[in-house]
Amino acid sequence: MDMIRVVSPPHCRKGPARCSECRKAARVKKICHIHVYTTTSENFRPIIEMEIRGIPGFYEYEIIEVFESPNDAIEYAKRNDISNIDLSMGR
């Protein structure tokens, strides 16, 4: 499931609890095209809390593209048929 969201791109797989660079990265929010996986895998992926098809939960995601501005993200979404866009900074 592809969408545009404001997220903090992770630095590495250690996470903010064990990596100072991850702690710094967690403070920076970026507008991203993310692909959210509704099934778990053996691969390391960051996790996002959200509701999908009415089911709240924690879902793995992968960052596909990072944008410099909301306009860039919206234009990209139009070109790539991505209708699920949330540019609020509350995540």
Regarding predicted confidence, which is higher, 35 or 43? 35
CA pair distance 15, 38, nearest whole angstrom: 21
* Total length of the chain: 91
Alpha helical stretches, state H, 1-91: 20-26, 70-79
**Domain extent for 68:** 2-79
pLDDT, tens only, 2-26 = 999 999 988 888 888 899 998 998 8
Overall average pLDDT of the 25-45 stretch: 90
> Considering the chain, what is the average pLDDT of its residues?
91
pLDDT of amino acid 20: 93
Q: Model-level pTM?
A: 0.83
**Total number of domains in the chain:** 1
